[in-house]
Structures are given as C-alpha cells and as structure tokens.
Chain A
Amino acid sequence: MDRRHFLQSASAAALASTTMARAATPAVKPVRLGVIGAGSRGQEDLRQFLRVPGVSVEAICDIYPPRYEQVNRLVGKQIPNTTDHKELLARNDIDAVLIASPVGCHAEHVIASAQAGKAIYGEKALGFTVDDNHNILAAVTSSKVLFQIGHEYRYASWAQEAIRRVHAGEIGTPTHCYAYWHRNGDWRRTVPSPDPDKKLEHLINWRLYRETSGGLGTELGSHHIDMANWVFGEQPTSVIGTNSICRYRDGRTVGDNVQAVFSYSQGRRLVFSSITDNAKLGCEFWIYGTEGSVQITIEDAYFFYENKKSNAPSADKANSKTVVERGVVTGASYSTQGEMPYRGPGEKVVTATSEDPTLASVRSFIGAVRGEHSIFADVHCGFRAAIACSVAHDAVFTEEKTAIPATKIPQV
C-alpha cells in the first residue's frame, strides 16, 4: 500500500467511525443561539451552552470589538458579529438569545428580544431599576416568549435536594438565611491604555460604577436573594442596609463591601454580606431552622442538626434528668456545649449528579426551548430577586429601611 492509498483508507475509516458515533447519538432538535453581551459571564454561559447536544452559536452582539475574536476562539469558528442588538434579533437563523450584557442594558435587550419573539436566557439580575423590572416582566409575559433567568443555583442538584428537605421540615421551621459572598480581590478588570476619557474604564469596569451597576448586592447578592425567596416561598418586603469603601479607593462609586437585611413575612430574614478583602468564608448560603441548619455552597450542601431540646412529657431515661414539677413528671435531655460554635462535620447531601449548576441551568433551558418541559427559574423568579436588588441598590446608600414593591402581574 502506498502512502496515498494508506491516507485514503485511513480517511475512510475515520469517516466510518464518525458516522457510527453520530448514528449512536440520539437525534436532537438543533437550537441556534444568538448572544447579546459576550463579556466574561457571557463567555462562560456560552461554554456551557456548547456542552449541550445540538446547540450552535450563530451570531453575537457586543459593543467591545475584542470580544469577537474571544468568542471565535471559544466557539471554534468565525461567528458573525454586530454592535446592534436589533440587527442580531432580525436574523431568522436564531431560535434563542443569551443576554449577558451589563445589568443596565437588560431592559432594552430583553424587551426587544421578547418583542422579536425569541426564547431568552437572561443573565441575572433581571433588570436594573424598579421600573426596568416591572417593564421586563410585562413585556415577557405579554409576548408569551420563553424566558429563563440565570439563577443557576436553582438547577444545582445539591441545592434542589437540600431545599426539598428543608421544605419537608427536616430542619424544623426555617426562620433565617445568612448569605456570605466574600472575596479577596478588587473586582477590577484590566483596561487597555491609553484611556484618556475613561470610556474603556466605564465600559469594561461597569460593575464598579453606581450608574451602571448594583454593586456587590446585585451582581453577587441576587443569587442569594433568589435562594432565600425559594426557601421562604415569597419575595422580601423591605430591606435595610449599608455599604462603604474601606479598601479600594480607586474611583469606584459602589461599595467594596455591602451588608443588607431583607425582611420576609412572619419576621423571617435574609442577612447578606459581601466583602472583597477577605475570602475566608467564600460563597456560602446558610438556612437556619428551629431544628437544624443547611450550608449550601457552589459545589455541595451539608446539613447540621441542633442539639435536641424537648420539654414534652416523657418516660425517665438513663441519660436524661428527671424533674418533678408541680406533681408532673417531665423529662428533658440537653448536651451542653456552652456557646461554642459547632466545628464538627455535617451530613453531606448526596445526589446522583454533581453537574455544574450553569450547565444544568442552560441544559434545562434548551430542553424548554425544545418543548420538553416548562421553566423553573422563570421571569417571575427573576423579578422577585431583581426587584429586591433594585431597591437595595439605593437603600444601602440611604441606610433607611425601604419597602420592596410586589409584582403587578400575578404568576399564573
């Protein structure tokens, strides 16, 4: 066999192998994606979308040209690009859009996409201002397009199982959520120089400026607010908070640390803290109930249980004190540990899969686009978290207790 024939044989074998591999894969309905906003988060979403069978990327819209080459590299081919989202939405080869633009642009981009009849995967937060959130909710519900918000922890298997168990009463009555998103970094992205009029600074570091960003409370806290909403089954009614700049005095106008308390019915609370100069706690979400606690992180979840305290009448037990009070025999057991925090292990939540939450989230969205199921993290879910973020955005500056408006459009 000469070299030419060998290569032909090898190619034929490779082709046959490829055909067999494809034949073994169940056919899936293709879903063609357009992308509005292809920065760091948009690119991470894109990677996850490309891990779902049948998904292709057909066009991107971004006003910062270096993103085009980054996306081409990520997707592995040249992707048509534009700076005009209307041009992208006018394409007839797009089934769904990923919107990962800065939060201040969400209303314009989501409403235009809904009016264009596209299915939408919208990054959180839903909208920037209170009005934005109401307008987005109205546009999405009236257009009846599919919309999923990027609250991916709703799709994390360990979070779903943990909250299912909380709702089943495993930690008693959940009364408080404490959420921490602590980092050690200035949250700043590199800006090309020269940049004399600071245009690039504001374009790239939009998260650092109050007119374009809800700061840590929105960019990070919206996930935790959504989780508290999930636990409590409602949105918060008010917020009180504060913020300051205690380390990064670099011209930013949002705090480099934020603390806020969100009020729910029956006195229940979410306490949120984000600092950016100490990462010991990392990202963790605690649910405190009357009989136990749950810690949910970006990778797993653990249950911890309170020491049992029971005052119910019971038989005398070897390990419990028996007291006679007013002629009634009661038993009570209590293991003392003072006020020391518990530092032992918890019970890990075991699930069949540990798939990355964003992958699970976008996979579910694609399933909904294909008509396989409805959307869990829908536009109402996005509204309930984002409206709290929008109010907290100002409340952490006024440091006054501020009411959070409810939706004007009831969820059907």
Chain B
Amino acid sequence: MGTDFTLYLYSASPSAAAAASQEVFDEVDRIEQLLSNYRDSSELSRINQNAGNGSVTTDPEMLDFLQQSLHWSEVSNGAFDITVGRLMKAWGFFRHSGRVPSDAELEQLRAVTGWQKMKLDPAARTVQFTTPGIELDPGGIGKGFAVDAAVRILRADHISAAMLSAGSSTVYALGAPPHQAGWRVVVPGPLPSRRTLSVITLRDTSLSSADCSQKNFTLGGHLYCHIMNPQTMRPVEGVIQVSIVNPSATASDALSNVIFVQTSAQSVATLKASAPDSRALIVTSKASGDAVDARCTTYRWGSPVDSTHCLP
C-alpha cells in the first residue's frame, strides 16, 4: 500500500492505547504482506505469478478480498477492475515513472486486462486467470480492506472511539469522541485552494476520497491521473474528486474508484442499486480536471456543501 496510516483513539491509559495502536499497525503490516504488489513474497504477488498457469490455492481471507473485488467490478460494469496491474505499469504508475503508451500497446493490454478473466472457486479456495499475463493491482481497494481489518482489531480490543486514516484517502470513524455525536471530517474543496467543501460527521462508518493529487504525472502540459478507466484503458478525465461514505471501508474505497470512472448519473444509479446506504459527494468539471467550472453532485450526502466551489 505504501501509505501512512494514522490512528487517533480514546483509551483509559497511555499503555493500553500504545498496545492497541501496536496491534493495529501490526495488522496493517500483515495486510501489506498479503496484498502488496511491490513485495515479491506477498500472497497477491504469488497469485500474480502463478494463477495464469493454473489454479492457485489461497486462504479464505485472500479469497474474500478477491470476491469483494469481483463484486464491485460486476456491479459497476468494470468501472472498478482489479486486473489493471499491467495497464498501470504501462502508464508508468508503478514505481512512479509516468509515460503514455501507444494505442497499439493499449490494445495488446486488453488481452491481459478484465475482471471476467479471473475465476474464483470458493469451495476449493482457488483463483485462476483464464489468460496468462494478468496482474492484479490492489490500489483501488486494498487500503479499505486494510482499514476494515484494523477496525476489527480495535473492536476486539473494546476501543469505543477511534479514527483510523489510511493516507487520508480512506478513513474510518469508530464510535465517537466523548460527548460528541461522531467524528467531524472535513472534505476539502478542489485544488488549488483546498478550502472546505463540506464537513461531515461520521460514526461507525468509513469515508473514502479519490482525486488526482494522490498520484499523477504531467507530460506535454497534460495531467494524467492514476485512476484508470478500464474500458478506455486510459486515465480518467474530467473528474476532480469524489468522496463516499459506506460502513465498509473496502466498499467505500472501491466505490470511490467506481464513481471516479462513471458519469455522475451512472454513479447515482450504481449507488442506488448496489450500495443504497452510501452517501456521496462528486465534483466534476467540463474541462479536464479544471476546478474553475466544477460541478457538485450529491447522493444522500446529508451535510451542507459550500456551493461557491460548484457551478449551479
């Protein structure tokens, strides 16, 4: 995941807080070793290396991760797709070396991209790629999965109020600080001002945000965003940022990518059909990534939005 996790928690004693924090970060390390595509010895790397040659037996947790990934691919018609590993490398988003691949190269990559090419057999605990050369990229869902795992640790330790942040793109609000209704989370507005767009109160739920500032490169004056549209095989254009609230951090992380890729109308339809209890705030632009003519779309957001950020 290669990101900084931050934990705030209320505890009866500093030593209990330190012990709980250590367990949470140990769990994050464990999930990193499960899902990292930068570590050759991770379980995800093992699947990438072998599932194109035959079925790979894995453990129920990894299978659950893959099933959740496939679920969000299916309900989003591929707007989220964990099989974009080769595509991300082709665009240079692996190890930060941005480049623009040729059309011919992108067409070739279609053969090794596509969630339908990953087959799971839960009864046998196996995963298999129908085409050799497919590579999974956990980037659009892994942080959320790690946050959910860490929150289970906090609950098991009877921590009643905590805020866990994974690189600030996915946060989970557990319970509420004393005498508060929940954790107040500021959603900043579009770059470059980053003035507050909305303030939302969260309790026992997660919020994931996606925008191009997290990873991008500029070539010929054009900004290329790290969030890929698997259908066009190109980085998404015209979306500034999205924020989504869902009780599952895995779901909110994946949905933040889904909504970033889909149009606002498609996103609302996907949410109504597949995640109706979610809340979302979507900022798009007519021009590519230009915050000047930003438009805001909300779905059950429930908190005021500073309309000076958005065109009517």
Interface of A toward B, CB cutoff 8 Å: 17-18, 21-22, 24-25, 44, 47-48, 50-54, 66, 74-76, 185-186, 188-193, 250, 299, 353-357, 359
Q: Which residues of B contact A353 (CB under 8 A)?
A: 49
Across the two chains, which residue of chain B brings its CB closest to A157? B41
Given A52-B57, A53-B57, A74-B61, does the pair A189, B125 have CB atoms closer than 8 Å?
no
Q: Which residues of A contact B62 (CB under 8 A)?
A: 51
Closest chain A CB from B288 CB (angstroms): 40
**Is the CB–CB distance between B119 and A250 below 8 Å?**
no
Distance A74 CA – B62 CA, assembled complex (angstroms): 10
Say whether chain A's binding surface is mostly helix, strand, loop, or mixed: loop
Q: List 19 A-B contacts (CB under 8 A).
A: A18-B121, A21-B128, A25-B55, A25-B124, A25-B126, A47-B59, A51-B43, A51-B57, A51-B62, A53-B126, A66-B156, A75-B60, A189-B23, A190-B16, A190-B23, A193-B16, A354-B41, A356-B42, A359-B46
Q: Which residues of B contact A188 (CB under 8 A)?
A: 15, 18-19, 22
**Is the CB–CB distance between A21 and B58 below 8 Å?**
no
Q: Which residues of B contact A359 (CB under 8 A)?
A: 46
Any A CB within 8 A of the CB of B45? yes
Given A186-B19, A190-B23, does the pair A24, B55 have CB atoms closer than 8 Å?
yes
Any A CB within 8 A of the CB of B254? no
Across the two chains, which residue of chain A brings its CB closest to B39? A299
Distance A357 CA – B19 CA, assembled complex (angstroms): 27
Distance A193 CA – B13 CA, assembled complex (angstroms): 11
Contact of B46 among A75, A355, A357 (CB under 8 A): A355
Distance A189 CA – B157 CA, assembled complex (angstroms): 10
Closest chain A CB from B14 CB (angstroms): 11
B51-74: which residues lie under 8 A (CB-CB) from chain A? 54-55, 57-64
Closest chain B CB from A223 CB (angstroms): 16
**Is the CB–CB distance between B20 and A354 below 8 Å?**
no
Q: Which residues of B contact A74 (CB under 8 A)?
A: 59-61
Given A18-B123, A51-B43, does the pair A250, B22 have CB atoms closer than 8 Å?
no
Across the two chains, which residue of chain B brings its CB closest to A184? B22
Distance A258 CA – B246 CA, assembled complex (angstroms): 46
Among all A-B residue pairs, the 10 with the closest Cβ atoms = A354-B40, A76-B60, A50-B59, A53-B57, A190-B19, A190-B157, A356-B41, A47-B59, A354-B41, A21-B121
Distance A245 CA – B64 CA, assembled complex (angstroms): 42
Distance A190 CA – B156 CA, assembled complex (angstroms): 10
Given contacts A76-B60, A186-B15, A354-B45, 14 further A-B contacts (CB under 8 A): A21-B55, A21-B126, A74-B59, A186-B18, A186-B22, A190-B20, A191-B19, A192-B158, A193-B12, A250-B15, A353-B49, A354-B41, A356-B43, A359-B46
Interface of B toward A, CB cutoff 8 Å: 12, 15-16, 18-20, 22-23, 30, 33, 39-43, 45-46, 49, 54-55, 57-64, 119, 121, 123-126, 128, 156-158
Number of A-B contacts (CB under 8 A): 83
Q: Which residues of B contact A186 (CB under 8 A)?
A: 15, 18-19, 22
Contact of A356 among B18, B46, B124, B128 (CB under 8 A): B46
Q: Which residues of B contact A54 (CB under 8 A)?
A: 57
Closest chain A CB from B162 CB (angstroms): 13
Across the two chains, which residue of chain A brings its CB closest to B18? A186
Distance A247 CA – B121 CA, assembled complex (angstroms): 50
Q: Which residues of A contact B20 (CB under 8 A)?
A: 190
**Is the CB–CB distance between A21 and B60 below 8 Å?**
no
Across the two chains, which residue of chain A brings its CB closest to B120? A21
Q: Which residues of A contact B15 (CB under 8 A)?
A: 186, 188, 250
Distance A379 CA – B123 CA, assembled complex (angstroms): 35
Q: Which residues of A contact B49 (CB under 8 A)?
A: 353
Closest chain B CB from A300 CB (angstroms): 8
Q: Which residues of B contact A53 (CB under 8 A)?
A: 57, 126
Across the two chains, which residue of chain B brings its CB closest to A204? B19
Distance A192 CA – B12 CA, assembled complex (angstroms): 12
Distance A53 CA – B63 CA, assembled complex (angstroms): 14
Closest chain B CB from A307 CB (angstroms): 31
Q: Which residues of A contact B158 (CB under 8 A)?
A: 192
**Is the CB–CB distance between A24 and B54 below 8 Å?**
yes
Closest chain B CB from A89 CB (angstroms): 25
Contact of A21 among B18, B33, B119 (CB under 8 A): B119
Q: Which residues of A contact B41 (CB under 8 A)?
A: 299, 354-357
**Is the CB–CB distance between B23 and A17 below 8 Å?**
no
Q: Which of A17, A21, A44, A74 is the most central at the interface, judged by chain B CB atoms within 10 Å of its CB?
A: A21
Closest chain A CB from B6 CB (angstroms): 17
Distance A18 CA – B49 CA, assembled complex (angstroms): 22
